[in-house]
């Protein structure tokens, strides 16, 4: 009887142990892992099917699993730094545990892997964008004239601008895109705001933090860029308007400029038919204090 009780308790405890699975999302990363003899898969599609089967089995047992993006180059560097044998499965386990603590992860809730993989990649891009933006902001240092921390001041100003933009938007769900051009690449951040029943807006905190950081980077470095807002509400046409980043501030786009931006193919320059039930318009006034450049030194 005591032995049976112990087995039962262990089964209960096993169900309460959360796990993380490092996922190779694309063919390129999968081929890179095949250099290790201990990695026995030889087909990416088969690998993904087996991963999904394991996830479903764990979920059926009541076990929670999160997915992390497994990068072979990061894994090799991790093993070299830690003095681990990259051929050992235990090394992959330790690396995956590190990903669970520091890297982008998403929970498995029964969704198809075809849905989870793009979501995991998007989460990884979001985190990388946020880390890059915050690193650059932190390195700007104090203003040589007044001593104010430039990056911190820009983040505060970007936060105020975001609140003002959301508050002046017409009723409905919000979809914002901010892009900032500069070396080495253009940073793009997306923020979704769902309207709740009390006329409030629900934002994902991680998305909002990344979006604010990218906007702050554009303001602080006076880089060219833009911010576009699209609102959607039942029974009304979507409204689209925006601003360009110029000289550390926001400058409203005209309705025709917004129309041209949405109805021109970026690569070819050819005209694209405008969407039906969409109004391309000028943004509401945010106030001179909000749109004018911030730190002027």
* Residue 109 confidence class, pLDDT cut points 50, 70, 90: confident
In the structure encoding, which two tokens stand for residue 4, read together? 């049976």
* Residue 238 confidence class, pLDDT cut points 50, 70, 90: very high
pLDDT in the model for residue 232: 93
Can you list the pairs that 55-60 forms with residues at least 24 positions away whose Cβ atoms lie under 8 Å? 55/21, 55/108, 55/113, 56/110, 58/19, 58/108, 59/108, 59/109, 59/110
Looking at every residue in the chain, the average pLDDT score rounds to 86
**Opening angle at CA 119, ends 117 and 188, nearest 5:** 125
Counting runs of H as helices and runs of E as strands, what totals does the chain give? 10, 10
Nearest of 202, 199, 180, 198 to residue 189 by alpha carbon: 180
**Segment 30-79, tens digit of pLDDT:** 999 999 999 989 899 999 999 999 999 888 888 889 999 999 999 999 99
pLDDT in the model for residue 223: 92
* Residue 145 confidence class, pLDDT cut points 50, 70, 90: confident
pTM check: above 0.85: no
Would you give the DSSP letter of residue 20? E
């Amino acid at each position: 009887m005591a032995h049976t009780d112990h087995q039962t308790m262990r089964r209960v405890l096993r169900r309460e142990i959360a796990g993380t699975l490092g996922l190779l999302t694309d063919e390129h990363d999968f081929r890179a892992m095949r250099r290790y003899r201990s990695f026995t898969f030889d087909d990416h599609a088969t690998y993904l099917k087996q991963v999904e089967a394991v996830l479903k089995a764990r979920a059926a047992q009541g076990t929670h699993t999160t997915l992390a993006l497994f990068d072979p180059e990061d894994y090799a560097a991790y093993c070299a730094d830690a003095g681990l044998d990259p051929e050992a499965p235990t090394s992959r386990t330790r690396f995956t545990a590190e990903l669970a603590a520091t890297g982008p992860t998403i929970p498995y809730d029964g969704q198809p892997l075809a849905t989870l993989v793009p979501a995991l990649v998007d989460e990884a891009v979001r985190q990388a964008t946020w880390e890059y933006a915050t690193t650059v902001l932190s390195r700007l240092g104090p203003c040589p004239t007044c001593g104010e921390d430039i990056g911190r001041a820009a983040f505060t100003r970007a936060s105020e601008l975001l609140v003002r933009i959301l508050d002046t938007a017409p009723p409905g769900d919000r979809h914002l895109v901010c892009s900032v051009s500069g070396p080495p690449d253009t940073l793009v951040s997306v923020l979704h705001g769902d309207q709740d029943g009390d006329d409030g807006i629900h934002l994902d905190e991680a998305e909002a933090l990344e979006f604010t950081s990218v906007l702050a980077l554009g303001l602080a470095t006076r880089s060219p860029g833009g911010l576009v807002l699209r609102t959607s509400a039942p029974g009304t046409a979507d409204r689209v308007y925006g601003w360009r980043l110029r000289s550390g501030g926001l400058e409203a786009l005209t309705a025709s400029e917004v129309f041209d931006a949405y109805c021109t193919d970026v690569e070819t320059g050819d005209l694209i038919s405008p969407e039906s039930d969409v109004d391309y318009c000028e943004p509401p006034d945010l106030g001179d204090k909000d749109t004018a450049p911030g730190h002027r030194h």
